[in-house]
Every structure is written in structure tokens, then in C-alpha cells.
Amino acid sequence: MKIGIALMCCLGALLPLAATSQPSVVVPTAQAAERSLGDWLTRMHEASRARAYVGTFVVSSGSSMSSARIWHVCDGEQQMERIETLTGTPRATFRRNDQVVTFYPDTRVAVAERRESLGWFPNRLLSADAAMARYYALQALGNARVAGVETDVVHLQPRDGLRYAYRIWAEKKSGLVVKLQTRSADGQVLEQAAFSELQIDAPVSMARLAVMMAATEGYQVQRPDRVKTSPEAVGWALKTAVPGFESTAVYLRPAAAGEVRRDDTVQWIFSDGLATVSLFIEPFDPRRHAQTELPASGPTQMLMRRVVDHWLTAVGEVPVATLSAFAQALERRK
């Protein structure tokens, strides 16, 4: 593990993005300091709606690192995106607003789905702002240069021990997020994602992306058969709420024929506006369900518990204590 960390340090040093992990010039501009959390988030969302760009995106988490080539375009109403991974299994993800198609050229499989949670609803943002300000303190850290552009740096420090800190680098003019760090309470960087190279206002053809996204010929198109439901309908509840986290969605994934699972799996999703927790609940099976905790990779933690005759797998970009709080609060209402 130590070797892994050392290697990450070496790799990190090779990347230009690591060079700016501390903002070099700490001169908070009056404008940057005055913005509220809501202003920041709205600006960042607007940036993705109003700008076209092409770039290389790098994510390093724990001891692994991934990168992808990004094409992003919008016409005021529609956003389109193409993400082609440069590491690991080749895959290309296309997104038109909340419609997402992922192509796996090796297996000739294309997964088409709708991602409701990709919310770009200004109303939701505003309500999230008030709640988020109770759990995160905003701090402007000045300016830094990332991927060749000048950015404002903001830090979101959690006010309790149930979440991680975030540091965001947003391009000065547009507010486009060019770098993002997830940090532990003691300031250790758990994950960072950044553009290593970025061309803003690049010519990207929406029509061409649309053609590529629709080119599923020769691919077996799969549509995830999950059903949106409610906690009441699946018979689960939380005895006590985990501070700051609100239920955002519940999905039921039916067990497919021939699968190891014998019954449906419930996925109950919570969010505090920045961090997300998924509770997966399935019938307990002593042959498969024994492990109770797993070493974390980057910010993502996992925790397993037996809850009556069910098995809970809690996953989230939160400290393990938060997952424990969820596990203790979960109860059967059926």
C-alpha cells in the first residue's frame, strides 16, 4: 500500500494538475469573496450550459488513475457531450441532456439510459443552497492557473464529521469547473479530477455528436430495467435522519433470470447536495454475504450489515461513520 501511495505521488508529480494543488497566489478578489455558495453553483451550472469545449480529463482516486477525452457543446437548450475513455476498457459515453448512451466496442454492447439525477434545475439548486450552507462553509482561496486557464479557487469545508471537504477550481470568466478535489477532514486529498488540457469555445458540432450517439447499428442495445419507486412501497425507512442527507430516489432492480440474486435489489439514494450515499438492500444469503467492510479506494467507502433478514451494502463518497449512521438508522416497515 505504501508503494502504491509512493507511486501515486510520483505519477502526480508528472501531471501539471498536481503542481497547482495549492493555489499559488492567494489574493481573494472582491468579487470572488462576495459570492455565496448558491452564486457559485449557479455560475458553474450556467457555464456548462453556455460553453463548448474540448479537453482531456484526468481522475486520480486512491491508487488508480483514469483519463478521458471530452467534447462538450450546447445550443442554449440542449447539451451534448462525448466522453471517450483513454484508460481501461474502451468505452464512449454520449449524453444529450439526461439521455445517456454508453458504447462498449469490445463487447459490441450499448447501454441506453436516462439519468434523472443529473438535475439541472435552477430551483433545486437554490433550495440545495440553503441546506448546503448549513453543512458546508464556503471559503474563497484566491486564484490559480489550471490547464492553461485562470481560475478562482473555492473551498467547501464540512461543518461536521459526516462529509468530506471539496476544493473547486472554476474558470474566471465562465465559471466552468476545471479541477475538483475531494479532501478528508484533515486536508488529505482523496480524489482529484481535472482537465489536464482544455480548449474553451472550441468548435464542436452538435449534429455530428448526435449522429454518433445514434449509431447503435451492430451493437446490442441494453436498457437497464430498473423501476423508480418510493421507500414506503419497498418497506424501508430511517428511524432517525442522518443530518444533511435527504432521500433523492429509490430504484428497484428486478433479478434477471440466471443471475445469482434471487430477489430484487433496492437502491435508495441520499444526497446532501454534494456527497451521495447509496443503500443497496437485498435478501440475506449466507453463502454470499459475510464481509462487512472493505478498504476504501479514494473517497468511496463501502460498508455491509445484516439488517433482520436482509443484507445492506452502503456505498458513498463519505466517511465510514456516515455509512454506519445510515446502517443503524435503517429499519424494516413491512
Cβ proximity to other proteins, 27 vs 181, nearer residue: 181
Q: Choose the binding region for other proteins from 27-35, 59-67, 139-147, 325-333 (rule: CB under 8 A).
A: 59-67
Residue 54 is a binding residue for other proteins (CB under 8 A) = no
Q: Which of 12, 16, 62, 148 binds other proteins (CB under 8 A)?
A: 62
| Residue 4 Cβ vs other proteins, minimum distance, rounded to whole Å | 5
Distance, C-alpha 63 to centroid of its chain: 18
Q: Which of 17, 177, 190, 266 binds other proteins (CB under 8 A)?
A: 177
Pick out residues in 105-124 that bind other proteins (CB under 8 A). Answer: 113, 115, 117-120, 124
| Residue 179 Cβ vs other proteins, minimum distance, rounded to whole Å | 9
Neighbours of 222 (CB within 10 A): 13
Q: Which of 193, 213, 242, 303 binds other proteins (CB under 8 A)?
A: 193
Cβ proximity to other proteins, 210 vs 249, nearer residue: 249
Neighbours of 101 (CB within 10 A): 20
Pick out residues in 311-330 that bind other proteins (CB under 8 A). Answer: 313, 315-316
* 75, amino acid identity: D
* Beta-sheet strands, E only, within the chain: 53-61, 64-74, 79-85, 92-96, 99-104, 109-114, 136-146, 149-158, 165-171, 177-183, 189-200, 220-222, 227-229, 236-238, 246-253, 265-271, 276-283, 301-307, 310-316, 330-332
Q: Which of 35, 95, 167, 310 binds other proteins (CB under 8 A)?
A: 95
Contact of 203 with 52, CB cutoff 8 Å: yes
Residue 273 is a binding residue for other proteins (CB under 8 A) = yes
Cβ proximity to other proteins, 27 vs 262, nearer residue: 262
Q: Which residues make Cβ contacts (< 8 Å) with residue 63, sequence separation at least 6?
A: 1, 4, 5, 7, 8, 297
